[in-house]
Amino acid sequence: MLDKAFDCIEQGIPPNEILLAFWVKYLEHAGFGIRIDQDREGGEIPPDLPVILDVASGLVYPASHNLREGGEGWNLGRGRIFKVPPHVRGWFRKIRLAVFEQLNETHIPAEDRRLLMEILSTCIEFHLDVRLKSLAFWKEVMEREEKNHRESI
């Protein structure tokens, strides 16, 4: 999987999209795949609804779900709960199902890419139980790239 990702970067596919897809596939292979379209009972959540993703428990709730402090899945104080809008759920689904070579056709808006990166890096660090310098480095690279893009417009 890593070799394929590097090959795609050499072919000119944007590294940010490759990175997101790699992280999604890594989490799945490690047994921590995120099913952003299924609630905790395995039922489908309609694609046009926002959801709440609890990284610690791996559960997804409809955004209308009332997460109370001390209740199941409450980790907000540790920054492990994310509200995921419908369009970002769509990107997540597309990335999860994508073939690396087809990511050249995927152009995720910067704000959505930032949220996806935050969610995925939080999941990886939580499940590995370690803070990775490489994740912080990629965040800096993305921010610099976005700043340069804005200045060139």
Question: Cα separation of 5 and 101, whole Å?
Answer: 9
Residue count of the chain: 153
Tokens of 72: 């199941």
CA 23 to chain centre: 8
Task: Output phi, psi for 123, to 5 deg.
Answer: -60, -45
pLDDT tens, residue by residue, 50-65: 888 888 877 788 877 6
Tokens of 96: 């999860």
Q: How many CB atoms lie within 10 A of CB 126?
A: 17
pLDDT tens, residue by residue, 64-106: 765 554 444 444 445 588 889 999 999 888 888 877 777 777 7
Task: Output phi, psi for 37, to 5 deg.
Answer: -105, 0
pTM: 0.75
pLDDT band per the 50, 70, 90 thresholds, residue 147: confident
Question: Cα separation of 97 and 94, whole Å?
Answer: 5
